[in-house]
């Protein structure tokens, strides 16, 4: 459930009418709902209770500092994968001891940044990275708490570009080598082994792959303990999927996921961390766009929007489906029409949907892409010199722009002309 509902035929974000935001900020824009973010965060904390746990929001899915502050104020931890994301978490007021650092290629500078600013743990992904972290921590005279991310060789049954838990993927160390890696970790100065980390992919729509992975982690916990390691924390990653096509998708609920965690690793006495991104942010955001033209093509009609693949790349990058709805609801039983929904960017790949059945829409009408909160704004670019679209946060009956649309001057001023020109 989210808080983007029609009232008197007009789409609202909580108590704010979408056309009011459009009038104030122009289109296209992203808009996020505080109530939805809050609700989704609490679904996880409730699903994991009474286990000791920390829900670390995967910042990569939606990294606006105002959103992070909204979640951080509720007590959320943060999962970061770069120095930049770490600084965003800190800027949102999240204390270091609630920030976990993931990612396959942390640089020494990033390690230094986090060790100086405070960090809950590093999720280490390889032996060379572990050795580098040991050196950096030692040089700073501090101890870095670590988990090792294991690759359990599990098929997450999701899109190949976002599956991370198979042995051919670049992530983690093969689980069969874990014993050796933990033995080395125990000998390295500046490191303190505290747990195990696993993340097998994103947009999982079944629980079975999680179960397979978590059972392997449970076995590994027992094994590593028998080898003398102290394992007090399990980071179980993110990945729980959301319904994108609402009419026919029903992925597992956080309560079922929580029950699975309790069943598989709940008896180990470990503190549980999870790193959900999409389930918290995905349906907490929509992208609002305006119809520029309705173009009649050869055997098909195109709806040309002012949003494009640079604003929301998921359809062209992953063939992803996003429900597209008119902001002003069509009267019941009014006719529909099939459209190819496209943006103005000069690529055929700039297509949001093909043959999509939509109510009759006309030039100037507003439409909304649902489920666009996660991996929407964060993956946007300025391709075709199209300014990054603004982000708006709604809270009850008021809203605020939380990232302005840059002006063309700002964009052009980032380019500098070398002295010889």
What is the set of active-site residues?
346
Site string for ligand LLP, 267-306 (x = CB under 6 A): --------xxxxx---------------------------
Tell me which stretch binds ligand LLP (CB under 6 A): 56-64, 246-254, 265-273, 407-415: 56-64
Among residues 237, 240, 153, 144, which one has the least CA distance to residue 196? Answer: 237
Q: Are strands 324-326 and 121-124 parallel, antiparallel or unpaired?
A: unpaired
Among residues 35, 44, 36, 100, which one has the least CA distance to residue 276? Answer: 44
Among residues 38, 80, 30, 21, which one has the least CA distance to residue 56? Answer: 80
Tell me the CA distances in angstroms from 179 to 111, 147, 196, 236, one per residue in order. 24, 13, 12, 19
Using the minimum distance from each CB to ligand LLP, give the nearer residue, 160 or 410. Answer: 160
Does residue 120 bind ligand LLP (CB under 6 A)?
no
CA distance 78 to 90: 10
Does residue 70 bind ligand LLP (CB under 6 A)?
no
- Site size toward ligand LLP (CB under 6 A) is 21
CA distance 124 to 195: 11
Q: Are strands 391-395 and 398-403 parallel, antiparallel or unpaired?
A: antiparallel
The most distant pair of C-alpha atoms in the chain lies apart, rounded to whole Å, by 71
Q: What is the residue whose two structure tokens read 């033995």?
A: 183
Does residue 51 bind ligand LLP (CB under 6 A)?
no
Using the minimum distance from each CB to ligand LLP, give the nearer residue, 129 or 304. Answer: 129
Q: Residue 238: helix, strand or coil by DSSP?
A: coil
CB of residue 215 vs ligand LLP: minimum separation in angstroms?
19
Does residue 315 bind ligand LLP (CB under 6 A)?
no
Using the minimum distance from each CB to ligand LLP, give the nearer residue, 16 or 194. Answer: 194
Q: Which residues contact 112 (CB under 8 A, 6 or more apart)?
A: 136, 140
User: Across the beta sheet with 16-17, what order do the strands follow?
Assistant: 4-7, 10-13, 16-17
Using the minimum distance from each CB to ligand LLP, give the nearer residue, 370 or 395. Answer: 370
Site string for ligand LLP, 10-49 (x = CB under 6 A): ----------------------------------------
Does residue 237 bind ligand LLP (CB under 6 A)?
yes
Which residues, 160 to 219, sit near ligand LLP by CB under 6 A? 162, 199, 202-203
Residue 251 is given by DSSP the state P
Does residue 235 bind ligand LLP (CB under 6 A)?
no
In angstroms, the first-to-last Cα distance of the chain is: 56
Using the minimum distance from each CB to ligand LLP, give the nearer residue, 161 or 398. Answer: 161
Check: CB of residue 42 under 8 Å from CB of residue 265: no
Does residue 58 bind ligand LLP (CB under 6 A)?
yes
CB of residue 313 vs ligand LLP: minimum separation in angstroms?
8
Using the minimum distance from each CB to ligand LLP, give the nearer residue, 254 or 277. Answer: 277
Does residue 375 bind ligand LLP (CB under 6 A)?
yes
CA distance 297 to 303: 10
Using the minimum distance from each CB to ligand LLP, give the nearer residue, 6 or 318. Answer: 318
CB of residue 357 vs ligand LLP: minimum separation in angstroms?
24
Does residue 258 bind ligand LLP (CB under 6 A)?
no
Report the interface residues with ligand LLP, using CB under 6 A: 58, 60-61, 79, 102, 162, 199, 202-203, 237-239, 275-279, 314, 318, 374-375
């Amino acid at each position: 459930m989210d808080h983007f509902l029609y009232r008197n035929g007009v789409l609202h974000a909580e108590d704010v009418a979408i056309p009011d935001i459009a009038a104030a900020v122009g289109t296209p824009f992203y808009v996020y709902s505080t109530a939805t973010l809050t609700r989704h965060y609490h679904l996880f904390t409730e699903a994991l209770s009474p286990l000791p746990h920390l829900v670390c929001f995967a910042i990569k899915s939606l990294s606006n500092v105002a959103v992070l502050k909204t979640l951080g104020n509720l007590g959320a931890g943060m999962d970061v994968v770069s120095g930049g994301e770490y600084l965003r978490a800190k800027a949102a007021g999240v204390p270091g001891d609630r920030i976990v650092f993931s990612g396959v290629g942390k640089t020494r500078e990033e390690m230094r940044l986090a060790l100086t600013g405070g960090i809950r743990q590093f999720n280490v992904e390889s032996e060379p990275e572990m050795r580098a972290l040991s050196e950096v921590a030692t040089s700073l005279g501090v101890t870095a708490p670590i988990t090792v991310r294991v690759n359990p060789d599990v098929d997450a049954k999701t899109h190949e570009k976002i599956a991370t838990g198979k042995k051919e993927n670049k992530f983690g160390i093969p689980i069969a080598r874990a014993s050796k890696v933990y033995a080395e970790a125990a000998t390295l100065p500046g490191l303190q082994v505290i747990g195990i980390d696993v993340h097998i992919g994103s947009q999982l729509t079944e629980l079975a792959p999680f179960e397979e992975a978590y059972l392997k982690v449970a076995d590994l916990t027992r094994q590593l303990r028998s080898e003398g390691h102290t394992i007090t924390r399990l980071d179980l990653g993110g990945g729980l999927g959301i319904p994108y096509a609402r009419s026919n998708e029903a992925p597992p609920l956080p309560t079922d996921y929580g029950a699975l965690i309790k069943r598989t690793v709940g008896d180990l006495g470990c503190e549980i961390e999870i790193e959900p991104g999409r389930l918290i942010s995905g349906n907490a955001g929509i992208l609002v766009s305006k119809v520029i033209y309705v173009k009649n093509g050869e055997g098909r009609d195109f709806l040309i929007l002012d949003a494009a693949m640079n604003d929301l790349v998921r359809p062209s990058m992953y063939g992803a489906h996003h429900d597209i709805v008119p902001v002003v609801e069509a009267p019941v039983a009014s006719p529909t029409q099939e459209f190819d929904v496209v943006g103005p960017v000069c690529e055929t790949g700039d297509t949001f949907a093909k043959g999509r059945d939509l109510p009759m829409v006309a030039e100037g009408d507003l439409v909304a892409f649902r489920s666009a909160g996660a991996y929407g704004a964060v993956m946007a670019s300025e391709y075709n010199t199209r300014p990054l679209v603004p982000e708006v946060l709604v809270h009850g009956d008021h809203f605020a722009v939380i990232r302005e649309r840059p002006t063309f001057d700002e964009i052009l001023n980032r380019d500098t002309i070398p002295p010889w020109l």
